[in-house]
Chain A
Amino acid sequence: MSESTVRYSPRGRARAIKGFLRQFLSYGSAQVGLVCLVFFLVVAAVPNILVGPLQTAINATGDFLVPPSGQHLLGTDEVGRDVLNLVVHGARISLMIALLSTVISLVVGTTIGMTAGYYGGRVDVWLMRLTDFFFVMPSFVLALVITPVVLEVMGRGGEILGFRPSLFVILVVIGMTSWAFVARIVRSQTLSLKERTFIDRARVVGSSNFNIMVRHILPNLVPQIAANGALVVAGAIYVETSLSFLGLGDPLQPSWGTLLSLAQRAGAASAGAWWYLGAPGVCVLTVSLSFVLIGNALDDTFNPRRRVIP
């Protein structure tokens, strides 16, 4: 049989990933998003090397509310701390919370959505009731409910995974309020996937339900999970910011949201201290925007048909 003319490299999966990356990186939005993201990830990875240890009221280095200058590139706050120092340290907290809560949300949402869609029937009904419950749950209310529980369990001074209790609450709250969105998308996709003939074939060749879900359905869900995952991160950054802004953050581990909240309380807006509000604000916008750009580029790469005609 001379049906094969091209010799293929033995590593099928590596070849597929390479092709995917080439396509993905050809999008301008993906490039911009990735550059911004890598920049912030580097900043978040080594804050001490870049700007020294986190400044507090005790080791503050400047005067009160000094505008940007050579010595303080982004000015200082109301107790004389360097805003650049605060923003760089805030990147670590903000990104950690956003990424970890997204992981929680994707793992929970995918597991529940896939189980509901695959088994259907009563399993589906009950899991979707649970999902709808969390879907409409406001994150702030949930935070108020679980804060005392977490504080009771951990004690006010304790730490969990390097997070102080209030940050841990934010992490859990975002994870718990955003998985329902993922579960709904995953469920509807699973409903259509399980009708495909390759699932029938998998059954005929003896694969168990667990293997069908993990080896057949899950890989086909990756596009949806990845594209929506990027949007979940963007949403998580916003929720983190707003929860911190409302005072749920931890002043000892300030995130960008906490900084915005501090700036607002210090009257930065009326005092004309634009740098104090602007620096964390621009960071929040840039990072969430870059995740949206990456999410859209992923979506376009996986679904060539949905690509916009230039």
Chain B
Amino acid sequence: MPDTADILRLESLQVHFPIQGGLFDRVLGRPAGAVRAVDGIDLNIGRGEIVALVGESGSGKTTVGRVITKLAQPTGGKLLFEGRDMTAERGSSALRPYRHRVQMIFQDAYQALNPRHTVFDIVAEPLRSLRLVKNNAQLTERVSEALAAAGLNPPDDFFARFPHELSGGQRQRVVIAGALAVRPELIVADEPVSMLDVSIRAQILQVLVDLRAKHSMALLFITHDLPLAWLIADRIAVLYLGKLVEIGTADEITFNPCHPYTVALRNATPQVGANAGRAELPALQGEVPSAARVPKGCRFHPRCPLAFDRCRQEEPPAIEVGPQHLSACWLAK
């Protein structure tokens, strides 16, 4: 996809959280380390494109989402929106135009809704704070429209309800309605269906897919579920310990994975592409190391069945293995 079509770009994005050393360390001036939650990520999202960010727990997915939605400040690298550097922008009024165009859907809808606000107030909040409506009639109209688009019908049945008076699926729809109300161009969805019943998941996913079709809205879909990513996304980026190990079209990553980690991830979910793809590898061994102690060399080498000497010393760069398909592995051709 050409650069001009990108709505968002991350350039060597880095988020390190300092570790508070004990008193002893501080007195001795010993440097306390850092949690390298995100450790140099390059990612672009095209206009109207759905990109899935896949990775295990603790790989830094949420942190990437929080940087994009300006909830976390990166310690390095850049966040570019339509080519404009947003990395240093701060303050609710300065960020208003950005917030108008970039919204977020949260994993736990129950936590994301203020228990003392009604559904109407929740969905109206962005319209009020971003000053997108002129009067109450317009406000009511936009709130109804957003609730309906999120699948809550008839909308005015829900206006006066509190979050605890809704089902889990309805709550997630309210969160989605709040994000939709401002008609954003990019939505970051952080595991939007992982807390929901399987029966409701499909409906919620349908809402998200419809949005792209109707309003050509871009979506960064964060998930730990590779088959789900394949189902919804145009491209998939695989994250391991704060670094992208492989990125490519959804079909390539699912049926023709190149990086040993992606292969192992796919093997862990037998229903998709069980017989397709390259060399079969044994299932993943061991735990994900802590982001506070990232292994030297290729960060996957302690768990990689194919690891060899070079992997323990040098970190592999992203190597192009096909059109739009990059893999950070010394074995990538």
Chain A interfacial positions (CB closer than 8 Å to B): 1, 3-4, 7-13, 15-16, 196-198, 200-209, 211, 215-216, 219-220
Contacts and interface: CB of A to CB of B under 8 A. Distances in A.
18 contacts: A1-B153, A3-B152, A3-B167, A4-B152, A8-B160, A12-B162, A198-B112, A200-B71, A201-B178, A204-B69, A204-B71, A204-B104, A206-B100, A208-B129, A209-B92, A215-B117, A219-B116, A220-B115
A207 B153 contact: no
A9 B104 contact: no
Given A3-B167, A198-B112, A201-B175, A206 B160 contact: no
Interface string B82-126: 000000000011011001100110101001111111101000011
A12 B178 CA distance: 18
A220 B116 contact: yes
B69 A4 contact: no
B157 interface: yes
B103 A205 contact: yes
A201 B92 contact: no
B308 to A, nearest CB: 43
B157 A8 contact: yes
B284 to A, nearest CB: 30
A205 B92 contact: no
Contacts of B112: 197-198, 200-201
Interface residues of B, number: 45
Nearest to B130: A206
Contact of B106 (A1, A4, A13, A197): A197
Contacts of B314: none
A197 B159 contact: no
A211 B126 CA distance: 12
Contacts of B71: 200, 203-204
A202 B125 contact: yes
Interface in B257-275: none
Contacts of A8: 157-158, 160-161, 165
Contacts of B95: 206
A256 to B, nearest CB: 38
Contacts of B302: none
A202 B120 CA distance: 14
Contacts of B167: 3
B151 interface: yes
Contact of B169 (A3, A16, A203): A3
Contact of B160 (A10, A204, A208): A10
B37 to A, nearest CB: 16
The residue in A10, A196, A203, A206 that gathers the most chain B C-beta atoms within 10 A of its C-beta is: A206
B182 interface: yes
Contact of B129 (A3, A12, A206): A206
A80 B178 CA distance: 71
A208 B111 contact: no
Given A1-B153, A4-B157, A10-B159, A205 B165 contact: no
B182 to A, nearest CB: 7
Nearest to A212: B92
Contacts of A206: 92, 95-96, 99-100, 126, 129-130
